[in-house]
Amino acid sequence: MPAYIIADVHVDDLAKFQPYVPAVPPIVRKHGGRYLVRGGKWEPVEGEWHPGLWVVIEFPDANAARAFMDDPEYAPWKALRQQTGRTNGVIVEGV
């Protein structure tokens, strides 16, 4: 069953965050992932939620999504993302 990493990313230091943008897609692909949403304009339709940068990545299954998140190659990029802002994220199984 496909699984999705859905993240709401708030970048506080865009200049320091910039190297993350080209570095991570090859690691995503290594785990069978593909971006469905990476940034883009969004429109609130209900509630008080004010997300930052949207990211939705589809993986073949939840194990592949977790493998991406736990990949040692991704670790320094994950640390950079955490140092330059804040993220709320989930892995969701779907259709």
CATH number at residue 31: 3.30.70.100
Specify whether the CB–CB gap between 5 and 69 falls below 8 A.
yes
Instruction: Report pTM.
Output: 0.92
Rama region for 59: left / alpha / beta (φ>0; ψ in -120 to 50; rest): beta
Q: What is the dihedral of CA 79, 72, 89, 82, to 10 degrees?
A: 0
Q: pLDDT of the chain along its 95 residues, tens only?
A: 999 999 999 999 999 999 999 999 999 999 999 999 998 888 888 998 888 999 999 999 999 999 999 999 999 999 999 999 999 999 999 98
Q: Please give the tally of structural domains in the chain.
A: 1
Domain that holds residue 33: 3-93
Q: What is the dihedral of CA 25, 94, 36, 29, to 10 degrees?
A: 20
